[in-house]
Amino acid sequence: MTNPQDFDVLIVGSGLAGLTAALQLAPTHKVAVLTKRRLSDGSSGWAQGGIAAVMDPADAFDNHVQDTLVAGVGLCDLEATQKVVEHAPTAIRWLQDLGVPFSTEHGELHLTREGGHSHRRIVHATDATGAAVQATLIERVKATPNIHVFEHHMLVDLITDRRMASGLPRPGQPVHCQGVYALDEVRDVVVTFRAPHTILATGGAGKVYLYTTNPDTATGDGIAAAWRAGCRVANMEFIQFHPTCLYHPHAKSFLISEAVRGEGGKLLLPPEAGGGRFMPAHDPREELAPRDVVARAIDFEMKKHGVDCVYLDISHQSPQFLEEHFPNIKARCAELGIDITRQPIPVVPAAHYTCGGVVTDLDGRTDIGGLYAVGETTCTGLHGANRLASNSLLECMVFASATVDAIRTTPLTSSSTLPPWDDSRVTDADELVVIQHNWHELRRFMWDYVGIVRTTKRLERAAHRISLLQKEIHEFYAQFHVTRDLLELRNLVQVADLIVMSALLRRESRGLHYSRDYPNTHALAKPTVLVPPPR
Ligand SMILES: Cc1cc2nc3c(=O)[nH]c(=O)nc-3n(C[C@H](O)[C@H](O)[C@H](O)COP(=O)(O)OP(=O)(O)OC[C@H]3O[C@@H](n4cnc5c(N)ncnc54)[C@H](O)[C@@H]3O)c2cc1C
């Protein structure tokens, strides 16, 4: 066995959550950032709309808290919500100090408004906020000697006392995370990293669905690894479907920001279905209704009229306004032959955000000692049954800072020995085709059976298929040389299982979970908390 690499803190993931934690820890800790592709890959760089924060004197923390609670339909944790909202201005100022080029007007931050927000409070960098934020953070990370970046290193599993050769913890004894195994894809070997603190910042799991706005990295790896290691996972039934993903054979996962509806964009049926507006018939807030309402309305209209997409029309705005506010969307559509100054944009709903995840406290702590989780991979209680637009980048930063504080005040030492990775596995050429088939099958049936509108029968069908896939993948994992595809499939199937288990347990419709068998909302609101079986 090669000697493990030693650090004070391991951070898995290089999105906004991971990089915020890395930069804030670097003055005092030797940090490793492991990321499975390049530093810039992940959802954070794709965020268009912006970051919600009360920055206008006419707005107030209470308004932002209320809007978040309303969107979350009774399941938000009040303390977590208040914490995030109240720390938002500090988080924005931190980014400004780092040099993020936010859009301004008359020397002040320009604030836009999105669905579900009662005030203009979205801080943005035109329509490519995430790219601007990530570019700035990455530049800083590269210039910080205490941060050691490992690109193309994929988390395989967490190493806890439970796995340690030196003996299992006795029942009731706290379990600690001592490091991770990671697949170094360049050398094609599994390497061991050791640290007393590990932060999971691996993002969401949109890739579990056939249609998603998420990048290829969003395979729920952190959620699956934490569950396998013994952490509770909550609210996995609440998957947010973004109502407006560009519908075009050559556009993969391109999102048409909510800000387009915020600036007066109207949803229209295709000409063959009459061409008129339909949102007024679904909700008094029309196009500014929360995402789940708009996504369900589009799903309903598409199924009713048997059409492949609907249209989003922003052509009432001047070309200059569109160039100024939506340069990215305008350019991408133009590449595909759609002139948004004159034509409506074809759109469909797609899996967008994983509201549930690894259960953490208000300082990012999980159920395992020395293991923290931050960002979309978590369930902090902020989003409840539905996420308010632009609250997630904010959550990444506020909880990353809280986690950094927790690590600073919790001195821990590394374990002296870690169990070696078993590399007796073999390579099998047949494996590839089976893995690809299973990937496709999983994403297809998750879309068909566990999508925007659910029924118990379809969920049970999905559960049955998942259990078959799990058996097959378990065998593969035990016998064959690990590859990224195999590891991602193993994690996606685990996450699919958690989503279906949670959806079956929720015998009502609430927020993002809509069941035809249980269309009503119960008076009693409770999160769905799954506890891993003892291993
Ligand atoms: C198209 C789009 C637009 C959005 N717009 C907005 C918006 O305007 N405002 C807003 O607030 N939110 C928005 N969101 C949501 C927001 O971008 C995400 O919730 C947020 O960026 C998540 O950040 P993160 O750091 O948790 O994860 P990510 O940014 O996804 O980063 C996860 C990181 O973990 C790495 N990783 C994953 N698995 C492994 C593994 N096994 N080993 C090593 N590394 C791993 C990935 O490569 C990546 O570096 C948008 C999302 C999308 C997809």
Q: What pLDDT, in 10s, does the model give residues 25-60? A: 999 999 999 999 999 999 999 998 899 999 999 999
Q: Which residues are registered as beta bridge partners of 212?
A: 351
Task: Provide the pairing of β-strand 239-246 with 51-52.
Answer: unpaired
* Average pLDDT estimate for 476-502: 94
- Whether 485 has a pLDDT exceeding 70, the answer reads yes
Separation of alpha carbons 237 and 228, rounded Å:
19
**Could you tell which of 102, 180, 202 is best to mutate to test the pocket of ligand 1, judged by most ligand atoms within 8 Å of the CB?**
202
Which residue's CA is minimally distant from atom 53 of ligand 1?
Answer: 214
Phi/psi of residue 247, nearest 5 degrees: -105, 105
- Could you list the beta-strand ranges (E) of 49-101: 51-52
Residues in Cβ contact with 24 at an 8 Å cutoff, skipping those fewer than 6 apart? 400, 401, 404
**Could you tell which of 244, 392, 494 is best to mutate to test the pocket of ligand 1, judged by most ligand atoms within 8 Å of the CB?**
392
Assign 234 to helix, strand or coil: strand
Which residue's CA is minimally distant from atom 35 of ligand 1?
Answer: 13
Residues belonging to the active site: 291
Q: How remote is the CA of residue 391 from the centroid of ligand 1, in Å?
A: 13
Which residue's CA is minimally distant from atom 49 of ligand 1?
Answer: 14
Tokens of 261: 């509806």
What's the confidence (pLDDT) of residue 306?
A: 86
Q: How confident is the model at residue 447 (pLDDT cuts 50, 70, 90)?
A: confident
Q: Which atom of ligand 1 is nearest to the CA of 488?
A: 41
Q: How remote is the CA of residue 229 from the centroid of ligand 1, in Å?
A: 22
**Could you tell which of 68, 353, 393 is best to mutate to test the pocket of ligand 1, judged by most ligand atoms within 8 Å of the CB?**
393
* Average pLDDT estimate for 390-413: 95
Cα angle for residues 472, 477, 481 (degrees, 5° grid): 130
CA dihedral 220, 226, 228, 233 (to 10 degrees): -80
* Range with lowest mean pLDDT among 14-23, 68-77, 293-302, 451-460: 293-302
Q: Which atom of ligand 1 is nearest to the CA of 182?
A: 42
Separation of alpha carbons 336 and 441, rounded Å:
29
What's the confidence (pLDDT) of residue 154?
A: 98
Which residue's CA is minimally distant from atom 11 of ligand 1?
Answer: 390
End-to-end Cα separation, the chain, in angstroms = 26
- Whether 78 has a pLDDT exceeding 90, the answer reads yes
* Range with lowest mean pLDDT among 90-94, 238-242, 312-316, 531-535: 531-535
In the numeric block, the tokens 């008094």 are attached to: 284
Tell me the residue type at 150.
F
Q: Which atom of ligand 1 is nearest to the CA of 374?
A: 26
Q: How confident is the model at residue 425 (pLDDT cuts 50, 70, 90)?
A: confident
Side by side, which strands form the sheet with 111-112? Answer: 51-52, 122-123, 111-112
- Whether 165 has a pLDDT exceeding 50, the answer reads no
Q: How remote is the CA of residue 320 from the centroid of ligand 1, in Å?
A: 31
Q: Do 385 and 75 form a contact (C-beta atoms < 8 A)?
A: yes
Q: How confident is the model at residue 489 (pLDDT cuts 50, 70, 90)?
A: very high
Number of Cβ atoms within 10 Å of the Cβ of 320: 9
Separation of alpha carbons 372 and 198, rounded Å:
6
What's the confidence (pLDDT) of residue 524?
A: 85
What's the confidence (pLDDT) of residue 515?
A: 94
What's the confidence (pLDDT) of residue 337?
A: 96
What's the confidence (pLDDT) of residue 251?
A: 79
- 232-247 pLDDT tens trace: 999 999 999 999 999 9
**Could you tell which of 217, 291, 495 is best to mutate to test the pocket of ligand 1, judged by most ligand atoms within 8 Å of the CB?**
217
Residues in Cβ contact with 267 at an 8 Å cutoff, skipping those fewer than 6 apart? 261, 277, 278, 279, 287, 294, 297, 298, 310, 311, 312, 313, 347
Separation of alpha carbons 314 and 311, rounded Å:
10
SS3 content of the chain, % helix, strand, coil (to 5): 40, 20, 45
- Whether 384 has a pLDDT exceeding 60, the answer reads yes
HEC string of 395-429 equals HHHHHHHHHHHHHHCCCCCCCCCCCCCCCCCECCC
Alpha helices in 243-383 (DSSP H): 259-262, 279-282, 291-305, 319-325, 327-335
* Average pLDDT estimate for 56-76: 97
Q: Which atom of ligand 1 is nearest to the CA of 394?
A: 11
Tokens of 506: 């929720």
What's this model's pTM, rounded to 2 decimal places?
Answer: 0.92
Which residue's CA is minimally distant from atom 2 of ligand 1?
Answer: 47
Q: Which atom of ligand 1 is nearest to the CA of 390?
A: 11
Separation of alpha carbons 159 and 180, rounded Å:
5
Q: How confident is the model at residue 77 (pLDDT cuts 50, 70, 90)?
A: very high
What's the confidence (pLDDT) of residue 170?
A: 54
* Range with lowest mean pLDDT among 166-180, 209-223, 484-498, 500-514: 166-180
* Average pLDDT estimate for 58-74: 97
Q: How remote is the CA of residue 194 from the centroid of ligand 1, in Å?
A: 25
Q: In Å, how far are 1, 228, 431, 479, 482 from 422, measured between CA atoms?
A: 9, 17, 19, 10, 11
Residues in Cβ contact with 180 at an 8 Å cutoff, skipping those fewer than 6 apart? 10, 12, 34, 155, 156, 157, 158, 159, 192, 193, 198
- Burial tier of 165 (Cβ tally within 10 Å: 0-12, 13-18, 19+): exposed
What's the confidence (pLDDT) of residue 456?
A: 97
What's the confidence (pLDDT) of residue 173?
A: 66
Q: How confident is the model at residue 166 (pLDDT cuts 50, 70, 90)?
A: very low
- 83-123 pLDDT tens trace: 999 999 999 999 999 999 999 999 999 999 887 899 999 99
Tokens of 276: 């008129």
What's the confidence (pLDDT) of residue 265?
A: 97
Q: How remote is the CA of residue 241 from the centroid of ligand 1, in Å?
A: 15
Q: Please, what is the average pLDDT of the chain?
A: 93
* Average pLDDT estimate for 138-145: 98
Which residue's CA is minimally distant from atom 8 of ligand 1?
Answer: 49
Q: What would you measure as the largest C-alpha separation in the chain, in angstroms? A: 70
What's the confidence (pLDDT) of residue 203?
A: 98
Q: How confident is the model at residue 493 (pLDDT cuts 50, 70, 90)?
A: very high
Separation of alpha carbons 247 and 182, rounded Å:
36
Q: Which atom of ligand 1 is nearest to the CA of 19?
A: 25
Please state, for a pLDDT cut of 70, what percent of the chain lies above it.
97
Q: How confident is the model at residue 21 (pLDDT cuts 50, 70, 90)?
A: very high
User: Which candidate, 184, 237, 189, 191, places its Cα nearest to that of 496?
Assistant: 237
What's the confidence (pLDDT) of residue 302?
A: 87
Which residue's CA is minimally distant from atom 10 of ligand 1?
Answer: 390
User: Which candidate, 377, 327, 373, 385, places its Cα nearest to that of 526?
Assistant: 385
Q: How remote is the CA of residue 239 from the centroid of ligand 1, in Å?
A: 14
Q: How remote is the CA of residue 15 from the centroid of ligand 1, in Å?
A: 6
Residues in Cβ contact with 161 at an 8 Å cutoff, skipping those fewer than 6 apart? 168, 169, 175, 176, 178, 415
Task: Provide the pairing of β-strand 147-150 with 104-105.
Answer: unpaired
Q: How remote is the CA of residue 484 from the centroid of ligand 1, in Å?
A: 18
Q: In Å, how far are 2, 319, 456 from 387, measured between CA atoms?
A: 44, 32, 24
* Average pLDDT estimate for 289-315: 90
**Site residues for ligand 1, CB cut-off 6 Å:** 12-18, 34-37, 41-44, 46-51, 129-130, 154-155, 201-203, 213-214, 217-218, 221, 255, 353, 375-377, 390-393, 396
